[in-house]
Structure 1
């Protein structure tokens, strides 16, 4: 089977499209024929081995996992022992960060897969896993957003942010979104009640007050969280120095600030699938690439100018 592989750290140029051995089915896993993937910031961070401390997980000097990629959507080819709830031929989507998803066939734990809604394209559902789960868990699991509460979402036009706006609205919150001036109309179309353009108003001087502050962009300071919100969720960070400066303040304050990494699970994936089926959220696909151009897609996402998601298609008929 074909797969994009990496044997050293670097940019998209180190990826190679190669013939590799098809995965052997394992207990508790699904073998899925991949129809589409999507690109995430995590992909280029892992590819480049940055920040450096991540190499203690992904390989200190060279990548220990050969295949890159996490998000996928496809059709179940085979079902391992002790798997319930999935059958051969079903359409599924999920996350395979450990085994790598930029490949014709992915071996994924059944626990990180969900069922695709009827009549929804593979490209659409491939856009969901990491970004959708991160948004859902930031808002619900960690942010504990309640109906009628107000939420400020910083970085509202990107992969995670555009899901976060829609999810918050679906839960009945009042949403104030922060994005660039050029993305105001896009973010309003997602359902935001108010939009702040960071290139027209300094977010670090904004005087608004919200029940929950979610930062998907990663440039809010600890003082920003305290000034703006009653509680906060930090999804991303711009630099290691910024993350450390925020986290060093946390133990010395009573302000409830959470930093987390999303954990894929079938329950949350199926909730997202239901919200999509009901029309309450809709992944926005900004750009689509054929699978042969996966390195180009990774390079594009690294520029961090994407509205919504970038997807890559393995099978023409989606």
Structure 2
């Protein structure tokens, strides 16, 4: 099968299209015929082995990528079902977490997949797993947003942000989205009552205070962010980082946790959703919102499998409008 492989850590140029053996579904697993795979900041972190401290955890790889095939989000059709997997059969259309999704086929645990909503294309469906689940956790699970609250989403035009704005608005919150001027109309159309152009305004100036801030960007000091919160408000920091950093977001996350013990405000770090925790229930929750017409994926642009490196470069620059997606023929 065709797949995007990587033999060493490095920039997007280390990714290459190759012919490799097709994986087989083991017990408790399914094999997915990938039709589309989303591009995430997670992918370039794995590509570069960034932050360096993550290599010590064993999940990334110490001197070279632990997973030779890139990608994590996918939508497609079940090709084969392993032993002990009830309720699914070949031909079922699914979305979810499929490690090695930048390929024609990917093997994954059956509990990491859910049925694809019938109204979504494969490209839209692939945009859902990591970004939508991260947004759900940030706004609803950790942020505890509720009707009538003022909620601000920093990075509202990105993959997580476009889902977060919709989820917060659906809960009845008064949503402010921080984004570029070029994304303002998109963010308004998703349910934001107010839009802040980050190039012209500073939402941390204290003139408006918010009950909940979901920070997907990490470009403001903690003290400034706290200034924008109500006295009992909640800050949810979505972990990220820049290429080449030794500790990435870990340092700021630890500081956030330490300060949280000293103040009345709730300061909570989260990491982008991955195949861990209550993933299946979260996937069911976001697809239920999609099926009810209350949540819609935003696809920025699509790439061919052979052009995956170009897609990763686009996401790494940090200016994606919604999600970028690889189409696998």
Q: Do Structure 1 and Structure 2 share a fold, with TM-score over 0.5? A: yes
- Which stretch of the first structure deviates more once superposed, 192-201 or 248-257? 248-257
Instruction: Pick closer, same or farther for the CA change 1:305–1:298 going to 2, 3 Å.
Output: same
The correspondence for 1:89, drawn from 88, 91, 105, is 91
2:239 pairs with 1:236: yes
Q: Normalising by the residue count of structure 2, what TM-score does the alignment of the two structures yield?
A: 0.90
The aligned residue for residue 222 of structure 1 is 222
Distance of aligned partners of 1:187 and 1:206 in 2 relative to their CA distance in 1, 3 Å threshold: farther
**1:257 counterpart residue number:** 267
Superposed, 1:1-318 pairs within 5 Å as: 1-56=1-56, 57-96=59-98, 99-229=99-229, 230-238=233-241, 240=248, 242-243=252-253, 245-261=255-271, 262-264=273-275, 265-315=279-329
Secondary structure in 1 matching 2:307: helix
- Residue 182 of structure 1: CA displacement? 2.4
C-alpha change, 1:290 and 1:123, in structure 2 (3 Å) is same
Note if contact 1:175-1:194 (Cα within 8 Å) is conserved in structure 2. Answer: yes
CA distance in 1, matches of 2:322, 2:145: 22
Q: Deviations over 1:30-86 (max 9, x none)?
A: 110000011001101110111111212311111121111011000001122222332
RMSD value, Cα: 1.7
* 1:8 Cα offset (Å): 0.3
Name the SS for the 1:204 alignment partner. coil
TM-score for both structures, normalised by structure 1:
0.93
SS at match of 1:205: coil
Report how many residues are paired: 313
Pick which of 228-237 and 73-82 moved more. Answer: 228-237
Moved over 4 A (4+): 241-245
Q: Structure 1 residue 263: deviation in Å?
A: 4.5
Moved more, 77-86 or 117-126: 77-86
Structure 2 residue ranges without an equivalent (≥5): 243-247
Distance 1:254 1:100 in 2: 42
- What is the CA distance between 1:254 and its match in structure 2? 3.9
Q: Distance in 2 between matches of 1:299 and 1:226?
A: 33
Q: Is the 8 A contact 1:225 1:231 kept in 2?
A: no
